[in-house]
Amino acid sequence: MIPYLPLLQINARYMDEIEEAVGTTLASGSYLRGRQTARFEEAYARYTGTTQCVACGNGLDALTLIFKAYMELGLLSSGDEVIVPANTYIASILALSANNLKPVLVEPDARTLQIDGSLIESAVTPRTRAILIVHLYGRCAYTAAIGAICKRHHLLLVEDNAQAHGCTFQGRRTGSIGHAAAHSFYPTKNLGALGDAGAVTTNNGELAEVVRALGNYGSSEKYVFPYKGINSRMDEVQAAVLNVKLQYLDSDNLRRREIADYYYRNIRNEAVSLPADASADCVYHIFPILCPYRDALQRHLADLGIGTAIHYPIPPHKQGAYKEWHNRNLPVTELIHQQELSIPCHPALTDDEAAHIVQAINSFRP
């Protein structure tokens, strides 16, 4: 049996170091806002290539805090429009709704599965204030064209980097490209904790300060509350685990890329198509394949002992949470949601397992 994502196997490779880090944290008597979190913030800012990193409770909070901070700073106000890819995970969109911002859905490019840069400009209106790009599946969504649109229309550029830790664009890490970026360290992500954790990175010290305050009840100093904040902290245990795993993020990503390259070279089936090869920049959080007979292919692989997943079965505009969008026509998004199948692609996958997966896909007949 080849599971889709065996978290224990992935973490077991670093078991001794993780146990030691957890033990050290337990023995330190400091469980929140301590040295492990401070160390992680510094290390992750350096890793990403930003001056600021603010740890928080999870990826959704990281996104929500960024937009909330921009509202406190007067750069965004209630009702402003934010452009976002229509095929993203719902958290990206929830962060906008939570701040009374209006998500404007833009279709992805069917070849890259990322927001289609050529459709962004026609979605810009006088109320547009920001673009939230999402580096879906570990692939960079940023392009020079998107940067130019932001400049031309004076838009904020925010990155949802939950799926792309370590991904690069022309040598710059995602998370350092826009004005601010949100990261999730949910256990399944490329850099995954043993529970919830998240962070905001930016080069804007003022923004980082407001994000930090907002995540701590809106407190700028002890018992002083300039904002109506929330409680969103990273615990010391999670920070300690992330401090261990951050050291291995690049080698883990390299292994993901090796597996992806192998898939690109060897998957050959007329019923299956792969997104355009993203080459060296991509960190393959997910390896998506597209098949018009997706459910039959998923059953075929299950029969051969291979676990798969779907990212995602129902697009945001068809969810009960967003009834107002139910009659929107977003054919590329819907096609992806009907045809996408994620196959195992993680740093603990062996060569033999990858070979078995390729054989199984190539033997599929609809």
Ligand X SMILES: *Cc1c(COP(=O)(O)O)cnc(C)c1O
What is the crossing angle of helices 236-246 and 15-28, to 10°? 150
Q: Which of 103, 166, 198, 316 binds ligand X (CB under 6 A)?
A: 198
Is 89 an interacting residue with respect to ligand X (CB under 6 A)?
yes
Beta-bridge mates of residue 85: 106
Per-residue binder mask for ligand X (CB under 6 A), 263-302, x = binder: ----------------------------------------
- One-letter identity of residue 261: D
Q: What angle do CA 147, 150, 152 make, to 5 degrees?
A: 110
- For ligand X, the closer CB: 184 or 339: 184
Residue nearest to ligand X (CB): 59
Q: How many residues bind ligand X (CB under 6 A)?
A: 15
Contacts of 288 (CB under 8 A, 6+ apart): 113, 137, 275, 311, 340, 341, 342
CB of 134: closest distance to ligand X in angstroms?
A: 5
159 counts as binding ligand X under rule CB under 6 A: no
> Please, what sign has the CA dihedral across residues 38, 39, 40, 45?
positive
Asked whether position 91 contacts ligand X by CB under 6 A, the answer is: yes
Cβ 114 to ligand X shortest distance, Å: 12
Closest CA to 224 of 211, 213, 215: 213
Site string for ligand X, 35-74 (x = CB under 6 A): -----------------------xxx--------------
Query: Nearer Cβ to ligand X, position 59 or 315?
Result: 59
- Residue carrying the six token digits 């980082």: 208
Instruction: Determine contact, residues 113/312, Cβ cutoff 8 Å.
Output: no
Does residue number 160 form part of the binding site for ligand X (CB under 6 A)?
yes
Contact between 184 and ligand X by CB under 6 A: the answer reads yes
Three-state secondary structure call for residue 132? strand
The tokens for 166 are 């370590």
Please state, in angstroms and rounded to a whole number, the distance separating the CA atoms of residues 86 and 190: 23
Query: Closest CB to ligand X among 186 and 284?
Result: 186
Q: Rounded distance, CA 291 to CA 275, Å? A: 11
Show the tokens assigned to 234: 């990273």
Binding of residue 308 to ligand X (CB under 6 A): no
If the CB atoms of residues 47 and 364 are measured against ligand X, the closer one turns out to be 47
Binding mask 201-240 for ligand X (x = CB under 6 A): ----------------------------------------
Q: How far is the CB of 76 from ligand X (least distance, A)?
A: 19
> What is the H or E stretch that residue 198 is in?
strand 198-202
Considering only residues 245 to 264 of the shown chain, the ones binding ligand X according to CB under 6 A are: none
- Distance from C-alpha of 281 to C-alpha of 289, rounded to nearest angstrom: 18
Q: State yes or no: residue 315 binds ligand X (CB under 6 A).
A: no
Q: Which is nearer to ligand X, 58 or 99 (CB)?
A: 58
**Cβ–Cβ < 8 Å for 342, 4:** yes
Interacting residue ranges for ligand X, rule: CB under 6 A = 58-60, 88-89, 91-92, 134, 160, 162-163, 184, 186, 196, 198
